[in-house]
C-alpha cells in the first residue's frame, strides 16, 4: 500500500476513468486540475476524439478547461483498455440502466471489470462510482478481481464511491459535493479516501462498500417517494378544487418538520427514476417487498398521462378534439437549463399525444433535435405566429430562457406543469395548472 500512497501524495499516480459521460468527464477534469495525469477510457470514439481535440460535450464542463488540461498533458482519452497497465487508480463511471422489467442491468460494469482483470497489477486501486444495488462491489467485482490471484487489501484495493452529479447545478459541482466512500477492507478505504481527498473538498468514509451503495439509493429513493407523495397531493387538490401550489407554499412556511417538494409532469434523469428500482430488486431477492418504492414509481410514472388528460380536458372545453389538434410542447430536457433528455417525462407526454392523433411540434433551446422511434424531430423557432397557430401549448420543462408572460399572451390554451404562470396568467386565456 505504501508505494501507492506515496504516489498519490506526490500526485505522481496516474488516474484512470472508465466511462467519460456526465459523471466520468467532470471527475477526470477535477483530478487533472488537482495535478494528476488522467487517462480517460471510453468505447465511444467520438467522445475520445473530442477530449483529445480539447473539446467538451458535457454542458457543465467548459471546452476551454478541457483544452487547457489537454495542452498541459494532464488529460487524454483512449479506447484502448491496455492503457490500464500504466494506470494506478481506476474509477468506473459507466451507465447502469434498467431493463424493461425494471431489473438492474450491470452489464456495463461487468464489461469494464473484465477489462480491468486483464491488466490488474499490484498496488492498483479500483473504485466503482456507478449506481448499483447493495452488494455489487463485494459480490460481483471482488469475485472477478480475486480470480487473478491478487489479494484485496494487500495487492490491490477496491472501494465504492457513489456519484452525486446534478447536471446544471451551478452551486454544487463534483469538487464541492461531499464524497461518500466505502472500502472492502480498512486499507482499501484508507487509500481510496486519500485519493479523493486530493481533488474533492470533503470525503465522507463509511464502514463498508454495501453501506456506501445504500447511501446513494437512500438519497434518490427519498426524493422519489416524496415527489410521488406531492404528485398525489396535486391530484387530490385538483379533485378538491384547491390550488396545490398554494398549499405547498403555505406548508413550507413551517420552520420545522416539513420539506417542500413540488409536483410535476413526471421524473427524468439518470438517477431518480432508476435508482430506487435497484434497491427494490435487491429486496425481492431477500423476499421483501419495497412497497413505498413501488407505489411512488407507479404514481410518478403516471404523471405524463395526467398531463395529457389535462390538455385533452382543456381542448374539450373549447370544443376541440385532441385528434388533429396542433399542440406545441415546450421543453424536452428532463429538467430546466440542461441538454439531457434521459428518461424525460416530456418524451412520454409527446408519445401519448402522438398516439392520440395530435399534430405535434416542440421547442427546447437546449435540445435542437431528438429521435422517437424511426422519426427525428427538430426544435421549431418560437414566434407569436407559431403560438397563435397552436390549439394548445404544454409547458413540460421550465427553462429560464422562456418569457412566460409572452408565451401565455399568445397561446389559446396553456398547460402549465411547473407553476410558471403564477401571478402572470391573463384571465382571457385558458391556463391550466397541475
Which pLDDT score, from 0 to 100, does residue 1 have? 86
Which pLDDT score, from 0 to 100, does residue 17 have? 98
| DSSP per-residue codes, 37-65 | EEEEE-S-HHHHHHHHTT---STTS-HHH
Domains of the chain: 2-209 (3.40.50.720), 244-433 (3.40.50.720)
Query: Catalytic residue among 93, 188, 271, 392, which?
Result: 271
**C-alpha to C-alpha distance for 332 and 340, rounded to whole angstroms:** 9
Contact 401, 365 (CB under 8 A): yes
| DSSP per-residue codes, 290-301 | -HHHHHHHHHHH
Q: Is the dihedral of CA 393, 395, 401, 407 positive or negative?
A: positive
Q: Is the dihedral of CA 302, 315, 337, 434 positive or negative?
A: negative
Which pLDDT score, from 0 to 100, does residue 10 have? 97
Strand blocks (E) in 111-265: 124-128, 156-160, 179-183, 203-206
How does pLDDT run across 15-46, given as a tens digit for each residue? 999 999 999 999 999 999 999 999 999 999 99
Closest C-alpha to 90, from 138, 43, 123, 47: 123
Contact 224, 267 (CB under 8 A): yes
Closest C-alpha to 434, from 223, 302, 243, 226: 243
**C-alpha to C-alpha distance for 336 and 345, rounded to whole angstroms:** 12
- If phi > 0 it is left, if psi is from -120 to 50 it is alpha, else beta; for residue 213 that is alpha
Contacts of 9 (CB under 8 A, 6+ apart): 194
pTM for this structure? 0.93
Q: Percent helix, strand, coil in the chain (nearest 5)?
A: 40, 15, 45
Place of cell 451503495: 213
Q: Please give the backbone phi and psi of residue 430, each rounded to the nearest 5 degrees, phi first.
A: -95, 105
Q: How far is CA 214 from CA 6, 206, 265, in A?
A: 31, 11, 28
Which pLDDT score, from 0 to 100, does residue 427 have? 56
Residue 271 annotated as catalytic: yes
Q: How far is CA 70 from CA 32, 61, 214, 314, in A?
A: 9, 14, 36, 54
Sheet arrangement for strand 124-128:
75-78, 37-41, 14-18, 89-92, 124-128, 156-160, 179-183, 203-206
Which pLDDT score, from 0 to 100, does residue 208 have? 98
Contact 61, 75 (CB under 8 A): no
How does pLDDT run across 6-18, given as a tens digit for each residue? 999 999 999 999 9
- Residues of the chain short of pLDDT 50, as ranges, are none
Which pLDDT score, from 0 to 100, does residue 362 have? 98
Inter-axis angle of helices 244-251 and 209-240, nearest 10: 130
Which pLDDT score, from 0 to 100, does residue 271 have? 87
Task: Name the DSSP class of 83.
Answer: G
**C-alpha to C-alpha distance for 88 and 198, rounded to whole angstroms:** 15
Amino acid at each position: 500500500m505504501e508505494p501507492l500512497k506515496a504516489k498519490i501524495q506526490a500526485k505522481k499516480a496516474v488516474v484512470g476513468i472508465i466511462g467519460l459521460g456526465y459523471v466520468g468527464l467532470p471527475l477526470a477534469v477535477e483530478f487533472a486540475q488537482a495535478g494528476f495525469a488522467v487517462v480517460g477510457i471510453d468505447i465511444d470514439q467520438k467522445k475520445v476524439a473530442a477530449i483529445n481535440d480539447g473539446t467538451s460535450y458535457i454542458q457543465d464542463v467548459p471546452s476551454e478547461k478541457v483544452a487547457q488540461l489537454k495542452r498541459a498533458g494532464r488529460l487524454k482519452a483512449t479506447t484502448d483498455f491496455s492503457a490500464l497497465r500504466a494506470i494506478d487508480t481506476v474509477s468506473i463511471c459507466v451507465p447502469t440502466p434498467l431493463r424493461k422489467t425494471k431489473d438492474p442491468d450491470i452489464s456495463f460494469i461487468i464489461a469494464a471489470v473484465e477489462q480491468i482483470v486483464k491488466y490488474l497489477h499490484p498496488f492498483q486501486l479500483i473504485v466503482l462510482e456507478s449506481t448499483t444495488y447493495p452488494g455489487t462491489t463485494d459480490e460481483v467485482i471482488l469475485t472477478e478481481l480475486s480470480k487473478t490471484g491478487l489479494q484485496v487489501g494487500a495487492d490491490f484495493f477496491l472501494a465504492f464511491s457513489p456519484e452525486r452529479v446534478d447536471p446544471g447545478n451551478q452551486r454544487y459541482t463534483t469538487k464541492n459535493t461531499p464524497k461518500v466512500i466505502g472500502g472492502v477492507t480498512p486499507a482499501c478505504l484508507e487509500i481510496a479516501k486519500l485519493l479523493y481527498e486530493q481533488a474533492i473538498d470533503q470525503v465522507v468514509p463509511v464502514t463498508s462498500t454495501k453501506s456506501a451503495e445504500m447511501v446513494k439509493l437512500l438519497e434518490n429513493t427519498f426524493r422519489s417517494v416524496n415527489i410521488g407523495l406531492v404528485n398525489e397531493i396535486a391530484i387530490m387538490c385538483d379533485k378538491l378544487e384547491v390550488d396545490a401550489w398554494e398549499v405547498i407554499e403555505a406548508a413550507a412556511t413551517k420552520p420545522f418538520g416539513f420539506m417542500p417538494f413540488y409536483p410535476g409532469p413526471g421524473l427524468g434523469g439518470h438517477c431518480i427514476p432508476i435508482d430506487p428500482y435497484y434497491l427494490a430488486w435487491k429486496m425481492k431477492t431477500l423476499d421483501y417487498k419495497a412497497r413505498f418504492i413501488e407505489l411512488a414509481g407507479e404514481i410518478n410514472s403516471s404523471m405524463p398521462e395526467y398531463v395529457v388528460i389535462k390538455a385533452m380536458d382543456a381542448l374539450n372545453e373549447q370544443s376541440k378534439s385532441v385528434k388533429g389538434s396542433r399542440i406545441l410542447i415546450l421543453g424536452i430536457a428532463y429538467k430546466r437549463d440542461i441538454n439531457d433528455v434521459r428518461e424525460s417525462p416530456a418524451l412520454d407526454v409527446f408519445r401519448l399525444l402522438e398516439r392520440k392523433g395530435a399534430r405535434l411540434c416542440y421547442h427546447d433551446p437546449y435540445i435542437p433535435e431528438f429521435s422517437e422511434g424511426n422519426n427525428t424531430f427538430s426544435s421549431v423557432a418560437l414566434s407569436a405566429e407559431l403560438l397563435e397557430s397552436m390549439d394548445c401549448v404544454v409547458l413540460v420543462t421550465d427553462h429560464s430562457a422562456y418569457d412566460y408572460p409572452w408565451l401565455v399572451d399568445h397561446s389559446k390554451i396553456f398547460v402549465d406543469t411547473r407553476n410558471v404562470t403564477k401571478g402572470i396568467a391573463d384571465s382571457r386565456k385558458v391556463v391550466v395548472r397541475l
